[in-house]
């Protein structure tokens, strides 16, 4: 939480000094190229097509330092750093109102210093334009996702300081995402519509084509992922000066410090001298994520039973009643030993706790790795278990196609983990059942969460006297060819 306190102190100081910003110069233009989007799993500045799940709230705080985001050729002389140094802190929020629909908003607070130009520079502190918009998931097919976005930028920012503009502008965009194991590729293309911005300098801004492409690589089962992105814009109206093709590339790291907090950090560098592309960029951010599954449901008290007393005549010669047989110990509640997480129970391997996944993904979280390590130990200690079927299940929250895909991907992530800890892949197979085999019917969120599960069913054991199957001592991991 020290990261959040650090960012909070920056915001308080900048807001307290915001009244000192210069307001007189006719240089009202927004030059920012890289903006946090609060899209699930997307690198900084890119929109993605993924959602964390209905009811998820994200609160984000991102600070960026940029060097020379705006250089202009003034009076036919050498380039001057009009905005030489900028520190921006952006406050943002998003809310997934449905599985494929979300709203968002953000407000930047900016500090600038060190300008080379007395005429066009604008050092001081101010605010950028307020933005708000929606995100929509268009379609999903396997690991491919397609989405769209629409945002408005409202002109409340500081005028004449390269922070905000005089008129409202809007952006429409399309994003695509393709996942393949730990790697995801993202593409984001959009059009920014704006009235022409006259800056009284060798620069005229207008509508733009904005684009970005990036990748995300998850480091195994760790909470760390590496992200990269290249972001640019091209002017669609006549543009003078360097603003027609700003391009910048970024490299960063995301750490999920716990189930609800994500920390991002990284660097960037401009590939051109266009508006917004920098000589250097350093960013760090924190996002607090609140999902419905992180809230404990409040149980509804059961109504008090109605008791009626009825007097009946009981004959004295009733036959002796037979008690029902004792329940099968397999079906009885398992009495777990201390620290025991998994157990072999006849035709299945039972786990003490359900495997946990990041909402809407196949990424294992919590203590799931420890549970799978015990499942692997059981398989090593019982070579007679020749074949195990890993069965993934989902709740009814979503379409059949989505739930089938999610259950299959989650079962596959268990397969990859077990093979990665030296369980031979010939002993394992994967099946996705989607939502068609629920553990519970309609009920509270707590009951529905138990339908999102992975089961281990024993499909075949060695018969008495049957030799074990021949398996290679060394095999290659199917997803990267690494030998185990």
Return d(Cα 311, Cα 303) in angstroms, integer.
25
On whether residue 468 sits in a domain, the answer given is: no
For residue 21, is pLDDT > 50? no
**Pairing assessment for the beta strands 348-351 and 342-345 based on DSSP bridges:** antiparallel
Return d(Cα 345, Cα 484) in angstroms, integer.
29
Maximum mean pLDDT: which of 81-85, 220-224, 441-445, 461-465: 81-85
Q: In this structure, what CATH number is given to the domain that contains residue 445?
A: 3.30.1330.60
Question: Are the C-beta atoms of residues 292 and 56 closer than 8 Å to each other?
Answer: yes
Of 127-131, 429-433, 446-450, the one with minimum mean pLDDT is 446-450
pLDDT of residue 317: 59
pLDDT grade for 16, boundaries at 50, 70 and 90: very low
On whether residue 310 sits in a domain, the answer given is: no
pLDDT grade for 14, boundaries at 50, 70 and 90: very low
- Cross-strand bridge partners of residue 89: 63, 109
Of the residues 251, 274, 291, the one at which a domain ends: 291
pLDDT of residue 116: 87
DSSP letter for each residue of 201-222: ESEEE--EEEEEEEEEEE-TTS
pLDDT grade for 223, boundaries at 50, 70 and 90: confident
pLDDT of residue 65: 97
Return d(Cα 246, Cα 207) in angstroms, integer.
14
- Cross-strand bridge partners of residue 230: 213, 249
Question: Are the C-beta atoms of residues 90 and 61 closer than 8 Å to each other?
Answer: yes
On whether residue 329 sits in a domain, the answer given is: no
Return d(Cα 248, Cα 213) in angstroms, integer.
11
Q: What average pLDDT does range 392-403 have in this prediction?
A: 81
On whether residue 189 sits in a domain, the answer given is: yes
Of 54-63, 232-241, 316-325, 439-448, the one with minimum mean pLDDT is 316-325
Tens-place pLDDT, residues 175-210: 999 988 788 899 999 999 988 877 666 677 888 999
CA 183 vs. chain centroid, Å, equals: 14
Residues 275 and 359 both lie in one domain = no
Residues 355 and 271 both lie in one domain = no
pLDDT grade for 400, boundaries at 50, 70 and 90: confident
Question: Are the C-beta atoms of residues 61 and 7 closer than 8 Å to each other?
Answer: yes
For residue 231, is pLDDT > 90? yes
For residue 275, is pLDDT > 70? yes
For residue 270, is pLDDT > 90? yes
Residues 441 and 377 both lie in one domain = yes
On whether residue 141 sits in a domain, the answer given is: yes
Return d(Cα 322, Cα 41) in angstroms, integer.
61
pLDDT of residue 196: 81
- Cross-strand bridge partners of residue 254: 225, 264
Residue matched to tokens 């590339």: 249
Classified as helix, coil or strand, 446 is helix
Residues 371 and 448 both lie in one domain = yes
Q: In this structure, what CATH number is given to the domain that contains residue 164?
A: 2.40.160.40
Residues 375 and 274 both lie in one domain = no
Residue 114: how many other CB atoms lie within 10 Å: 13
For residue 332, is pLDDT > 50? no
Residues 236 and 352 both lie in one domain = no
On whether residue 313 sits in a domain, the answer given is: no
Of 143-147, 386-390, 456-460, 462-466, the one with minimum mean pLDDT is 462-466
Of the residues 291, 315, 331, the one at which a domain ends: 291
- Shortest CA distance to 277 belongs to which of 238, 250, 239, 240? 250
pLDDT mean across residues, the chain: 81
Residues 277 and 367 both lie in one domain = no
Residues 354 and 281 both lie in one domain = no
Return d(Cα 31, Cα 53) in angstroms, integer.
33
- Shortest CA distance to 288 belongs to which of 52, 127, 71, 13? 52
For residue 218, is pLDDT > 70? yes
Q: What percent of the chain has pLDDT over 90?
A: 37
Tens-place pLDDT, residues 88-118: 999 999 999 988 899 999 999 999 999 988 8
Q: What average pLDDT does range 228-239 have in this prediction?
A: 83
Question: Are the C-beta atoms of residues 426 and 353 closer than 8 Å to each other?
Answer: no
For residue 17, is pLDDT > 90? no
Q: For 52, list phi and psi in degrees, rounded to 5.
A: -85, -15
pLDDT grade for 465, boundaries at 50, 70 and 90: confident
Residues 68 and 159 both lie in one domain = yes
284 CB-contact burial (10 Å; exposed 0-12 / middle 13-18 / buried 19+): middle
Tens-place pLDDT, residues 59-85: 999 999 999 998 887 665 667 888 999
On whether residue 308 sits in a domain, the answer given is: no
pTM: 0.61
Domains held by the chain: number: 2
Angle (CA) 157-163-165 rounded to 5° is 65
**Pairing assessment for the beta strands 197-201 and 183-193 based on DSSP bridges:** unpaired
For residue 304, is pLDDT > 70? no
Of the residues 291, 312, 331, the one at which a domain ends: 291
Tens-place pLDDT, residues 141-153: 877 899 999 999 9
Q: What average pLDDT does range 107-131 have in this prediction?
A: 91
- Take residue 112 and report the two structure tokens written for it: 């600038």
How far is the CA of 362 from the CAs of 297, 312, 389, 395, in angstroms? 24, 60, 18, 14
How many residues does the structure list for the chain? 484
Q: What average pLDDT does range 237-266 have in this prediction?
A: 78
Return d(Cα 364, Cα 375) in angstroms, integer.
15
Residues 245 and 122 both lie in one domain = yes
pLDDT of residue 22: 35
What sections of 33-180 are H helices per DSSP?
A: none
pLDDT of residue 33: 92
Which residues form the domain of 367? 342-461
Residues 141 and 47 both lie in one domain = yes
Return d(Cα 270, Cα 66) in angstroms, integer.
10
Question: Are the C-beta atoms of residues 67 and 278 closer than 8 Å to each other?
Answer: yes
Residues 347 and 277 both lie in one domain = no
CB-based burial, 359-373: b 16+ in 10 Å, e otherwise: bbbbbbbeebeebbe
pLDDT of residue 180: 81
On whether residue 65 sits in a domain, the answer given is: yes
First to last CA, the chain: 40
Helix axes 368-381, 400-420, angle to 10 degrees: 60
Q: Higher pLDDT residue, 404 or 482?
A: 404
Residue 358: how many other CB atoms lie within 10 Å: 19
pLDDT of residue 439: 81
């Amino acid at each position: 939480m020290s990261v959040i306190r650090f960012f909070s102190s920056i915001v308080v100081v900048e807001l307290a000094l915001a009244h000192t910003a210069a307001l007189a110069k006719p240089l009202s233009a927004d030059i920012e190229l890289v903006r946090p989007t609060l899209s699930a799993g997307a690198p900084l500045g890119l929109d993605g097509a993924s959602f964390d799940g209905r009811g998820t709230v994200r609160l984000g705080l991102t600070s960026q330092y940029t060097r020379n985001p705006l250089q202009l050729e003034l009076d036919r002389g050498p380039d001057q750093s009009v905005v030489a140094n900028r520190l921006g802190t952006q406050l943002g929020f998003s809310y997934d109102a449905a599985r494929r629909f979300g709203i968002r908003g953000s407000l930047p607070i900016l500090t600038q210093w060190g300008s080379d130009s007395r005429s066009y520079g604008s050092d001081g502190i101010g605010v950028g334009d307020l933005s708000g918009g929606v995100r929509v998931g268009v379609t999903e097919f396997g690991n491919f996702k397609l989405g769209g976005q629409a945002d408005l930028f409202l002109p409340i920012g500081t005028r004449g300081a390269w922070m905000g503009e005089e008129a409202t502008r809007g952006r429409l965009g399309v994003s695509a995402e393709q996942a393949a194991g730990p790697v995801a590729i993202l593409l984001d293309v959009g059009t920014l519509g704006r009235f022409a911005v006259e800056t009284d300098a060798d620069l005229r801004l207008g509508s733009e084509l904005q684009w970005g492409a990036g990748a995300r690589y998850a480091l195994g089962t760790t909470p760390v992922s590496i992200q990269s992105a290249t972001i640019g814009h091209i002017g669609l109206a006549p543009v003078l000066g360097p603003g027609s093709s700003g391009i910048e590339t970024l490299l960063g790291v995301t750490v999920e410090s716990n189930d609800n907090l994500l920390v991002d950090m990284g660097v960037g560098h401009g590939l051109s001298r266009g508006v917004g592309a920098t000589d250097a960029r350093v960013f760090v951010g924190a996002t607090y994520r609140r999902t419905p599954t992180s809230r404990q449901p409040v149980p509804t008290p059961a109504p008090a039973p109605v008791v009626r007393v009825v007097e009946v005549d009981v004959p004295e010669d009733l036959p002796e009643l037979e008690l029902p047989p004792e329940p099968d110990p397999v079906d009885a509640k398992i009495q777990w030993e201390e620290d025991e997480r998994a157990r072999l129970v006849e035709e299945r391997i039972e786990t003490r706790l359900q495997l946990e996944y990041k909402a809407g993904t196949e990424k294992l979280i919590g203590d799931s790795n420890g549970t799978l390590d015990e499942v692997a130990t059981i398989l090593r200690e019982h070579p007679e278990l020749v074949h195990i079927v890993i069965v993934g299940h989902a709740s009814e929250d979503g379409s059949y196609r989505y739930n089938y895909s999610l259950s299959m991907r989650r079962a596959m992530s268990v397969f990859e983990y077990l093979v990665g800890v030296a369980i031979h892949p010939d002993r394992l197979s994967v099946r996705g059942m989607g939502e068609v085999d629920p553990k519970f019917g309609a009920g509270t969120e707590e009951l529905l969460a138990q339908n999102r599960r992975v089961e281990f069913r024993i499909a075949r054991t060695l018969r008495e006297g049957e030799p074990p199957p021949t398996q290679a001592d060394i095999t290659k991991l199917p997803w990267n060819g690494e030998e185990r």
